[in-house]
Structure 1
Amino acid sequence: MCWSATADLVAGTGIAAVGVVCVARTRRVRDLPLAALPLLLGAHQIIESAIWRSGGGSGPAVLAWAVIALPLLPLWIPLGVLCAAPPRARRRLLVPLAAGIVTAALLAYCLATRPVSAVIRGHTLGYALDVPRSGPLVAGYLLATVGALLLSGDRLLRALGVLAAVGSVVCAALWRLEFVSTWCAFAALCSVVLLCRTRSGPAPGPVSPA
């Protein structure tokens, strides 16, 4: 989330461009889900720019935003980390993956059975979805996303996990104060870390399966 439609659009376009470079530089098929994550984050920001322009509400753009933020990310991230992780780390990554599957399933059920809406609050957008027992769901979400990165066994992914943990606290605090939303800057930083993880220069041949 950014603080205006223009900021969301500009940030989303830039983050998606980083995602294109990440995918182009990736040589192994199993690294593609993580390399494509900035593409997903960029699309998320661009969708939110449409929500800003429509004044919030509960239209298709709000639902698309919620689908990415709620059930998709807690499934995408641990699965991507599991695919990219070294063999020695894969067994412990089954825990955050299981948490992601359960969390994504419950959030998808809530989205399918309950309305979701967005409202402009100062320089932020607030989203409302009736989620029962939100505490365990938040814990499962953090275990699936931040936990998977911290347990990845990869130096840069662990650094991304620390960045995600700290950034989530700071961004959430600023959002609750309705001062300004900084999620787009956080998404941009995460995308740059993923860009650093990809190999510089294009692959010399087809993407290898290993």
Structure 2
Amino acid sequence: MCWSAQADAVAGGLVAGVGVACLVRAHRSGRPERLPLAALPLVLGVHQLIEALVWLGTDGGLSDGLAGAARTAWAVIALPLLPVLVPAAVWCATRGPRRRVPAGLTLLGAVVAVPLAAAVASRPVTATAHGHTLGYAIGIPHPALLLAGYLLATVGSLLLSGDRLLRRLGVLTGAGAIGCALLWHLAFVSTWCTLAALVSLLLLHWAGHRPTGEAAPTADHAAGRTR
């Protein structure tokens, strides 16, 4: 999360723009299996744009109905969506026997997502400003257990992917999650905007990256894909 509606709006727009570039680059690389993970920056950008609306709701700049819808949309992306999307996208991008690991973590993410989705559907999502950050409350059952599964499904799938760039992304997101939590408790400016931007830039590089030893598609092969 950023420190104001304006900052979230600007950062969200920039990250979403990088997300579009990621999708274009993944498509042009001839690796359609990379498209789901290349879409992650776009999801993060939209998430930040939604949080800009949440900020406006806490400041009284939105009607109660719109503010509630923004909080719910924010929670849907943050809670049930990401623990399924991230490992599933890594599974799509992985080749060979290593696919079994992200496949299992996708199943774990789905198990974690069920109670999270139930909580979002059955309880109102509240958001309160704490200094320069927003604190969300939903009333999730067994939060420590679900958090462990959430991090294992998301960060773990990146760390265990076998792709050097994705492992680096896993280290970045793991360290960023710890940093965001610590800074939130200090009610200081969160690192979320910076983390989303770094994740997006790294995925932009990964989307067009071709592993060592893999030949680029020939002009004839590329032309055949367009027929």
TM-score (norm 2): 0.86
| Residue from 34, 47, 58 that aligns with 1:31 | 34
Q: Which residue of structure 1 aligns with residue 47 of structure 2?
A: 44
1:13 matches 2:22: no
Conserved? CA contact 2:20–2:42, under 8 Å: yes
C-alpha displacement at 1:95, in angstroms? 2.6
Three-state SS of the structure 2 residue aligned to 1:127 is strand
Cα distance in 1 between the residues matched to 2:224 and 2:123: 42
1:61-72 paired onto structure 2 within 5 Å: 61-72=70-81
Measured against aligned partners, the alpha-carbon deviations of 1:162-191 in whole angstroms (never above 9, x if no partner) come to 111111101110011111122111011011
Cα distance in 2 between the residues matched to 1:114 and 1:175: 23
1:20-169 paired onto structure 2 within 5 Å: 20-26=20-26, 27-55=30-58, 59-169=68-178
Cα distance in 2 between the residues matched to 1:55 and 1:109: 24
Q: Which protein is richer in helix relative to its size?
A: 2
Unaligned runs of 5+ in 1: none
Paired amino acid for 1:40: V
Cα distance in 2 between the residues matched to 1:206 and 1:106: 46
Paired amino acid for 2:97: R
Three-state SS of the structure 2 residue aligned to 1:12 is helix
Q: Which residue of structure 2 aligns with residue 190 of structure 1?
A: 199
Paired amino acid for 1:70: L
Paired amino acid for 1:188: A
Measured against aligned partners, the alpha-carbon deviations of 1:25-57 in whole angstroms (never above 9, x if no partner) come to 113221111001000000000000111112167
Paired amino acid for 2:200: S
Unaligned runs of 5+ in 2: 210-216
Cα distance in 1 between the residues matched to 2:153 and 2:160: 10
Name segments (4+ residues, structure 1) moved above 6 Å: none
Three-state SS of the structure 1 residue aligned to 2:208 is coil
Cα distance in 1 between the residues matched to 2:190 and 2:171: 20
Change (3 A) 1:207 1:14: farther
Paired amino acid for 1:11: A
Three-state SS of the structure 2 residue aligned to 1:120 is strand
Q: Which has the larger radius of gyration?
A: 2
Q: Which residue of structure 1 aligns with residue 212 of structure 2?
A: none
Paired amino acid for 2:135: G
Conserved? CA contact 2:88–2:103, under 8 Å: no
Change (3 A) 1:4 1:206: farther
Q: Which structure carries more relative contact order (alpha carbon 8 Å, separation 6+)?
A: 1
Cα distance in 1 between the residues matched to 2:131 and 2:35: 37
Paired amino acid for 2:79: L
Change (3 A) 1:153 1:72: same
Cα distance in 2 between the residues matched to 1:105 and 1:206: 43
Three-state SS of the structure 2 residue aligned to 1:90 is helix
Percent sequence identity over aligned pairs: 54
